Chain A
Amino acid sequence: MFDLTGRKALVTGATGGLGGAIARALHRQGATVALSGTRQEALEALAQDLGGERVHVSPTNLADAAAVEALVPAAEAAMGGLDILVNNAGITRDNLFMRMKDDEWDAVIAVNLTAAFRLSRAAVKGMMRRRHGRIVNIGSVVGATGNPGQGNYAAAKAGLVGMTKALAAEVASRNITVNCIAPGFIASPMTDELNEKQREGILGRVPMGRLGSGDEVAAATIYLASQEAAYVTGHTLHVNGGMAMF
């Protein structure tokens, strides 16, 4: 089950905790992976960790439109195709709504939503030709529930859900599926720095009583990327320990 041997995958934000876990899982299932991220050294380290086989490194600044346009063709050239696109990269610029600056809004929309649009548009071309493709957009529970201080982030993540459904409807007849994963609170270097009180506050909202792991989000990604999920499209899969149920 969930064998990805021979598949070629591009993961954005691969140096982050979540993106790294997703890239590792895709690789473990047999896929060739192209790692995109802003920090070249961290990408190289991950590539080395993966044994250097079936792995390519593509440093990209997703806020730069030209760099975004170049990423999919570069990944296709490096791997000889592209079957799986994981739009994982995301940034936050939290601020209370009334204090939020235009540039905080714009930066989050650009990286979290517009880059995913441009990469999907580019990737779908080859996927249509090959009559196969998987696009997995990493959203957030916040896109469904909202979160104070994250108007920009919530808007971008909710935007991904709508984009996912529209594109899924357009390309379903070509055996391309487009889905979204909405993680809740996932353990990361960021959550490691929370103090005990903050941690308790968060866990109090999660029926499962613990943070999720990157591997648990990666497992959902593997499923949606697999042949077994061929009939699942336009869906948002919530991986959140029950903190919000839909």
Chain B
Amino acid sequence: MSDIAERVKKIVVEHLGVEPEKVVEGANFIDDLGADSLDTVELVMAFEEEFNVEIPDDAAETIQTVGDAVKFLEKNSA
């Protein structure tokens, strides 16, 4: 797992209070990890903070799985 993936996983585990084993690449925040729509907004905020990037609303909407987040951040974080 890449460094970015590790950090994403840590945020997701902390924020949603889910088992680390469940936070796999294909896991959907809402369907698989029990997030509600407010949680997804907060996750995006947490990613922005951790990786010091701005995630615009239209990009945020495409981030639905752990893998989506990792991919976006690998491409966009410094």
Chain A: CB-nearest residue to B36: A173
Evaluate contact between A171 and B38: CB separation under 8 angstroms.
yes
Q: Is B38 a contact of A173 with CB atoms below 8 Å?
A: yes
Q: Say which residue of A128, A170, A171 sits within 8 Å of B45 (CB atoms).
A: A128
Nearest Cβ on chain B to A48's Cβ, whole angstroms: 37
Is there contact, CB below 8 Å, between A125 and B45? Answer: yes
Interface positions, chain A 118-146, Cβ under 8 Å from B, are 125, 128-129
Q: Mark A95-135, 1 if CB is under 8 A from B, else 0.
A: 00000000000000000000000000000010011000000
Q: A167-223: which residues lie under 8 A (CB-CB) from chain B?
A: 170-171, 173-174
B42 interface contact, C-beta 8 A: yes
List B20-68 residues whose CB lies under 8 Å from chain A. 36, 38, 41-42, 45
Look across to chain A and name the residue whose beta carbon is closest to the beta carbon of B42: A128
Cβ of B41: which chain A residues have Cβ within 8 Å of it?
128
Q: Nearest CB to that of A126 among chain B residues? A: B45
Instruction: Find out whether the CB atom of B45 lies under 8 angstroms from the CB atom of A174.
Output: no
B interface residue count range (under 10 / 10 to 19 / 20 to 34 / 35 or more):
under 10
Chain A residues, CB < 8 A from B38: 128, 170-171, 173-174
Q: Is the interface of A mostly helix, strand, loop or mixed?
A: helix
CB closest residue in chain B, given A174: B38
Whole-angstrom CA separation of A29 from B45 in the bound complex: 32
Taking CB atoms, residues of chain B closer than 8 Å to A173 are 36, 38
Which of chain B's residues has its CB closest to A171's CB?
B38
Question: Chain B residues with Cβ under 8 A from A125's Cβ?
Answer: 45
Which chain B residues lie closer than 8 Å to A128 at the CB level? Answer: 38, 41-42, 45
Least Cβ distance of A221 to chain B in Å?
A: 26
- Nearest B residue to A172 via CB reads B38
B42 contacts which chain A residues (CB < 8 A)? 128-129
Q: How far is the CA of A128 from the CA of B41 in the complex (A)?
A: 10
Bound-state Cα–Cα, A173 to B39, Å: 10
Q: Measured between alpha carbons, how far is A40 from B39 in the docked complex, in Å?
A: 39
B52 to chain A, nearest CB (A): 15
The residue on A at minimum CB distance from B49 is A129
B69 shortest CB reach to chain A, Å: 18
Least Cβ–Cβ distance between A171 and chain B, in angstroms: 7
Contacts of A174 in B (CB 8 A): 38
B57 to chain A, nearest CB (A): 12
* CA gap between A141 and B46 in the complex, in Å: 40
A218→B38 CA distance, assembly (Å): 31
- Roughly how many angstroms separate A102 CA and B67 CA in the complex, as a whole number? 49
A170 to B45, CA, bound (A): 16
12 contacts between A and B (CB under 8 A): A125-B45, A128-B38, A128-B41, A128-B42, A128-B45, A129-B42, A129-B45, A170-B38, A171-B38, A173-B36, A173-B38, A174-B38
**New contact pairs (10) apart from A170-B38, A171-B38, CB-CB < 8 Å:** A125-B45, A128-B38, A128-B41, A128-B42, A128-B45, A129-B42, A129-B45, A173-B36, A173-B38, A174-B38
